[in-house]
Amino acid sequence: MDALILALETSCDETSAAVVRGTTILSNVVSSQAALHAKWGGVVPEAAARAHVEAILPVISEALTGASCSLAEVDAIAVTNRPGLVGALSVGVTAAKALAFSLDKPLLGIHHLEGHLMSPLATDPSLPFPHLCLIVSGGHTELVRVDAWGQTTILGQTIDDAAGEAFDKSARLLGLGYPGGFAIQEAAKTGDPARYKLPKGLSGDTLNFSFSGLKTAVLRLVEKEGENLSVADAAASVQEAIASVLAERAVRAAEAFGAEVLTLAGGVAANARLRELLNRESNQAGIRLVTPPVELCTDNAAMIGLAAAVRFGRGERDDLSLEALPNAPLP
Ligand code: KG4
Ligand code: ZN
């Protein structure tokens, strides 16, 4: 039987714990700090670390209760140890080390983006290789060729802002608050995506992205339209600009190396319009699209557990010298 793994995630502003057995998720508890950071309009690292300290033990208890298991039954402790806000990461890493040491259980440090990359395993436990993954989060926008778990090549990425950042900054300019992605999606429901023409960044056959021009264009639009601005139409136009360029480039990248499967991961992967466009375009190209459930798109510990299940199964272990690292390349 696969190992029972308790996974922790505290790299940014969600405190999360999950219990997984192989690719089966037994529990996944996420305590979001969004309300705390909303008043500042973004994540304040000091406040995030303090909130993780308060939430981590109750979140772990709830995850164990949800999975109907005790700490003694757990076979290994996994934790996001890189990359992220170092103070936030340290809370999870310290908790995981304390548990591993006191219970005498193996410890495993997981790369946050590898967690996102493996989140589609919840939908399809036997994803074929090579496949292409579009990772779109608050800090990353990457087209990743996955030849095997741990063997990845970045085929394209943003040269400035991440897609999630573009959603968040545009939402702020439109007065929609934080976090912005979901707020834009909601406001866009009644909006006309063709009303305002917004730039999609780099053109031509590149696999890279640029979203900083979009942010500037939204600022100009807000200034120019003043009180006449339709927030719904602007939100729909922003969403369309971001989602259409992501979908077009992801499908083109998958076609370029003959990938049969395209996967989607990261907070922005929760976006319904992006899912709709990717579905349509991958269908037309004869590529199978595998998307994780929406609750596994934004930060969560279940995806860290899925990545840990693969690495633990291969015999990988870390020792108590495991460190929280703010920067680290995708393995
Ligand atoms: O993966 P994630 O939870 O954290 C990072 O690792 O960055 O991604 C957070 C990002 C934020 O920028 C948020 O606005 C965006 O994901 N997001 C969305 C949606 N839900 C979250 N963007 C567009 N549409 C959504 N429904
Ligand atoms: Zn993330």
pLDDT tens digit sequence for 173-211 = 999 988 899 999 999 999 999 999 999 999 889 999 999
Mutate to test the pocket of ligand 1, among 291, 298, 299, 330 (most ligand atoms within 8 A of CB): 298
Query: What pLDDT, on the 0 to 100 scale, is given for residue 179?
Result: 86
pLDDT at 177: 86
The predicted model scores a pTM of 0.97
- Count of C-beta atoms within a 10 Å radius of residue 52: 30
Q: Is 193 in the pocket of ligand 1 (CB under 6 A)?
A: no
181 lines ligand 1 (CB under 6 A): yes
Cis geometry, peptide bond prior to residue 193 (ω within 30 degrees of 0): no
Ligand closest in space to the Cα of 182: 1
For residue 287, the model assigns a pLDDT of: 98
Q: What is the pLDDT of residue 70?
A: 98
Those residues of the chain that have pLDDT short of 70 are none
C-alpha to C-alpha distance for 299 and 297, rounded to whole angstroms = 6
Ligand closest to 268 (CA) is 1
H-helix or E-strand containing 304?
helix 301-313
For residue 97, give Cα distances in angstroms to 40, 86, 103. 32, 16, 10
pLDDT for residue 42: 85
Name the residues around ion ligand 2, CB cutoff 5 A: 137, 299
With beta carbons less than 8 A apart as the criterion, state whether 96 and 108 touch.
Answer: no
